[in-house]
Structure 1
Amino acid sequence: MHDVTGTIGKKFLDGQCLVAMPTLREQIFERAVVYICAHSEDGAMGLILNHPSPGVSLRELLLQLKVIETPGHARLSPDLEVMRVLNGGPVETTRGFVLHSADYKGGETTLPIDRDVCLTATLDILRAMALNEGPRQAVLALGYAGWSAGQLESEILANSWMIVPADPDLLFDQDHETKYERALHAIGVNLGFLSEQAGHA
């Protein structure tokens, strides 16, 4: 089991991932991989990386937001054409958040999370993406996961989450179905062992 005692209380978890334990049955968080965008004494905010929104494509969302006017208006790159819009969490589910590589700078509207990853929540980045002038790597989520002061720390200490280092593939690739297992594998945890332990709790 990953020891969080030395992590919680000494430093915050910005830029790391959380992986839901099998005992976490809340539907939105079941088998979730969450990237922590902000964490402080006041609480935490993150995006679920592996729960695509059913039937929502990036092109359709750009049309709904009037970032592009007609289906043929934008010449999206192949990567953007296949990008699924993610269900980022249960808070502000109509608001979009773009997690992206640090090569795109949106001025004061872009929040640097670590050296390689930023978060932008304005239409400007979607316009740039539609013109192929956006970041090299990106995922778009509707909504986010939020925790009040001390809530995330309590959930981690209660073994609801495991802490996993983030990497670009985990953050940005479109293979959502395998992210949960890959995140666990990154810290040497076997899903079958976890499920067996949960079944005997």
Structure 2
Amino acid sequence: MDTLAPGILLIADPFLKDPNFARTVILLCEHQEEGSFGFVVNKQFDQKLDDLISNVFVPNIPVYLGGPVQMDTIHFIHQMPDLIEGGFEVFPGIFWGGDFDAVVNLVNSQQLDLQKIKFFVGYSGWSSGQLEGEMNEKSWILSSVNTPILFLEDEQEIWRQALRRMGNNFAMMANFPIDPTLN
């Protein structure tokens, strides 16, 4: 797979050193000539949703670090377009955004399947040509979306599973040490 488009997973190369993106998997939600954006799906944030949104009353809903851009914003992806209106379908069955007030009400009334929604602080963004440059530097491995991987509870496994499902050569990368000089 070598085409950047909404619904593609960007899997960080095992040796990518950028601390914002080391061992991450990003769901690419938008890719246009003007730029691109998506969400890191496997880095849990140190606060929960009820810590960030005062009118959320259900405790301990995880929030993920979507990326280093606009850390004062909250976003979400989900698989519930019948309950959450206004979302943008980035991949068949996976939606970005929608009516946030409705989401808060659905969370508080416990009508959402929390295995089918993921919240993010901030996002990952690239200006025009920037992501293509990172692709040329071999910073990212492209993969099609695997919905169950996006919503895995064990965020530590998402990067490994994303590589393993790509086949033998990539599966070996899943076991590479973070710093090979320590071997």
Q: TM-score, normalised by structure 1?
A: 0.77
The answer to whether the aligner puts 1:116 opposite 2:83 as a matched pair is: no
CA contact (8 A) 2:13 2:23 kept: yes
Structure 1 residue 105: deviation in Å? Answer: 5.1
Show the counterpart of 2:107: 129
Q: Which of 22, 35, 49 in structure 2 is aligned with 1:43?
A: 35
CA contact (8 A) 2:163 2:174 kept: no
Q: Which of 11, 23, 26 in structure 2 is aligned with 1:19?
A: 11
Residue identity matched to 1:191:
M
Structure 1 residue 106: deviation in Å? Answer: 3.9
Give the root-mean-square deviation of aligned CA atoms: 2.4
CA contact (8 A) 1:102 1:115 kept: no
Show the counterpart of 2:55: 67
The answer to whether the aligner puts 1:191 opposite 2:166 as a matched pair is: no
How many corresponding residue pairs?
Answer: 175
C-alpha distance in structure 1 between counterparts of 2:34 and 2:149, whole Å: 27
Residue identity matched to 2:49:
L
Q: Which runs of 5+ in 1 are unaligned?
A: 69-73
**Alpha carbons of structure 1 residues 107 and 25: separation in structure 2 relative to 1, 3 Å:** same
SS of 1:27's equivalent in the other structure is: coil
Report percent identity of matched pairs: 23
Q: Which runs of 5+ in 2 are unaligned?
A: none
Bigger Rg, which one: 1
The answer to whether the aligner puts 1:93 opposite 2:75 as a matched pair is: no
Q: TM-score, normalised by structure 2?
A: 0.83
Structure 1 residue 126: deviation in Å? Answer: 2.5
Structure 1 residue 125: deviation in Å? Answer: 1.6
